[in-house]
Amino acid sequence: MCGICGFNWRNPDLAAKMSSVITHRGPDQSGVWCDDNVSLAHRRLSIIDLSDDGRQPMSNEDGTLQVVFNGEIYNFAEIREELEKHGHRFKSKADTEVILHGYEQWGFECVKKFIGMFAFALWDAPKKRLWIVRDRIGVKPLYWYHKAGRFVFGSEIKCILEDPEVERKVNHAALYAYLGFEFVPAPDTAFEDIHAMPAGHWGVLENGNFKVERYWDIGMPETCPVRSEGEMVERIRSLIDDAVRLRLVSDVPLGAFLSGGLDSSTIVAMMRKHNPGRLQTFTIGYEDKTFSEMDYAQQVADVFQTDHKVLIIDKMDRASLEKSIWHLDEPMTDLSSIPLMFICQKAKQYVTVCLSGEGGDEVFVGYDRFKAAKIASFFNALPDWFRRGVVGRFAESLADRPQKKGAVNMFKRFVEGALLPEEAMHLRWQYFMNKEFERNLFAPGYKALVGPFDPFRRVREHAANCASRDVVNREAYLDTRFMMTDSVLMKADKMSMASSLEIRVPLLDHRLVEYMGTVPGSWKLKGLTTKYIFRKALDGILPKNIVWRGKQGYSLPVKNLLRTQLKDYMIELLHEEPLVKEDFDAAYIDRLIDEHLSMKQNHNHVLWGLMNIAIWHRRFFTSEAPALPKYEVPAPAADNGKA
């Protein structure tokens, strides 16, 4: 796990400056390589081959190829063996080197042999060609800028911004998509002219032209093959087992995040199968039990005899919120971002690598929104006047409840989503704009600049790439290729890298993702039971109450914090920040604040979103933001088994 950056001219000082701003991604080593056509820089977090032989930028034998690499290629040993049979000779034990020799042997096609998570840039000097690649699923981030012949790339946007010729400009149109989906969908970012490389794509810079191409997709068939339940259960178990086994390769200590949910519990169970020794697990807890899963996590830890550590989050401060947004580079409203940052800080005191359960809800169909979409097919049969005029108004009249879910809160959220356009499919329940917000929240100048609004354009574009006629599988495709990549995975990468901790995600092994794309949706969502076939595969491996309980998650209780600890901070930001005053209607924001504080409505998504915009703008565009402390790797804890 590392950080990479570079550009298409010679300037070793700028390359070093760009890499220094992402020191948190790789505090162990740094390196710069330049010629007249390119500059490459690297920050190293040593995981495999801790010697200087693994230092980057790394070259092939004659120096005609140079590579900078972020991530892991888990099957590098097998690829290395195959390449050695073709006559290639290796100078290190690092997985980085298989990229160089793989490119020599197979060209661009070498990437299709890699099992792993990666973003890399390879310079081919004889061809004067720069090739940048993001992994199939999008576990590792990669950004680029290309304007007036100037090409810059990096693992994080902040290093691109170190180039003084890259103008910092707000992408106002992206803020509309962000407030709806709570992230900015690729290839856009919140910065104008800076782009995110989509998952499963690569880009080639040659003769001054930069071309982006897709090299991988899930490949869901129109109709799924017929298989028995037993056959699917065995195949899923086998794929998960091998995915976890591969991700245990490390020359540094590793552990696992354990929430007590099905996904993380599965990872721990499989890790224990391959690791009979000490296994360290980490979890988050809250005083409010409706937001906490500590008891379930402890149960799983006891079953598999892990060295378990719990971090209780009982308060939220401004500094932590500002730090998280600086590391995210963009406003992002995922309510679990800050808890994840906290638990990564804690875990880094004990380990350098953590396995985590990201992706399970997308691949196996675990979110409540899948159930909501199924129920909505019956709700939509009711007359429109009744749905909107009676049910909709009744739901709106109900006051918010302080707990995370509960019957009233779930009913209100279901109706809100069900009344959005059906073209958004199940993502209606992960979308937080509506016609009223569009009319009242945005300032007239913003509407003139950005309008007309088309909230689900990106959804339609992604849906067009899916050949499946299975409704649930089309929904799973959208979750995996649209929602997860630029939200869940960017949160996981950047919140972990903030503490120089590597997160590995076995449930997003592309072989498992591809196989699940051929499993009928009726085996994933059976009635209203989510993850049905996944649960069957884990039956007998995990305790039954863990296998069959509903999803809870570990999101921060933001709606309550905005009424208590963060109330004054919210009001200050939304009244004073220049971008908020420029793009949004102040009187309407005050109305939303009043309704939220009085618990008449829960407006936490839009208010938290606006706060994130305000902090992001202050952090990246003004000199008023307080300085972040100098980066330091979290100090190791005393190895006494206690947190």
Q: Active-site positions?
A: 2
Nearest to 44 by CA among 53, 90, 35: 53
Question: What angle, rounded to 10 degrees, do the helices at 567-576 and 604-621 form?
Answer: 60
Nearest to 279 by CA among 304, 315, 243, 296: 304
User: Rounded distance, CA 331 to CA 514, Å?
Assistant: 31
321-355 as b/e, with b when 16 or more CB fall inside 10 Å? Answer: bbbbbbbbbbbbbbbbbbbbbbbbbbbbbbbbbbb
**Three-state SS at 465:** coil
User: Rounded distance, CA 119 to CA 581, Å?
Assistant: 38
**Tokens matching residue 406:** 């509960």
How far is CA 384 from each of CA 379, 390, 425, 439, rounded to the nearest angstrom? 10, 9, 18, 21
| Contact of 411 with 395, CB cutoff 8 Å | yes
How far is CA 115 from each of CA 136, 236, 363, 608, rounded to the nearest angstrom? 9, 17, 17, 37
- The residues with which 69 forms a beta bridge, in sequence order, are 120
Which run of H or of E encompasses 571? helix 567-576
Give me the helices (H) in 54-186, please: 76-85, 96-106, 157-160, 172-181
How far is CA 195 from each of CA 171, 281, 344, 383, 556, rounded to the nearest angstrom? 11, 36, 27, 43, 29
User: Rounded distance, CA 206 to CA 196, Å?
Assistant: 19
How far is CA 573 from each of CA 260, 533, 578, rounded to the nearest angstrom? 36, 46, 9
User: Rounded distance, CA 565 to CA 315, Å?
Assistant: 8
**Exposed / middle / buried, residue 32 (Cβ in 10 Å: 0-12, 13-18, 19+):** buried
User: Rounded distance, CA 510 to CA 512, Å?
Assistant: 5
**Tokens matching residue 42:** 């690297």
Q: For 485, which DSSP code?
A: I
User: Rounded distance, CA 25 to CA 499, Å?
Assistant: 8
Torsion of CA 104, 109, 115, 121, to 10 degrees: 60
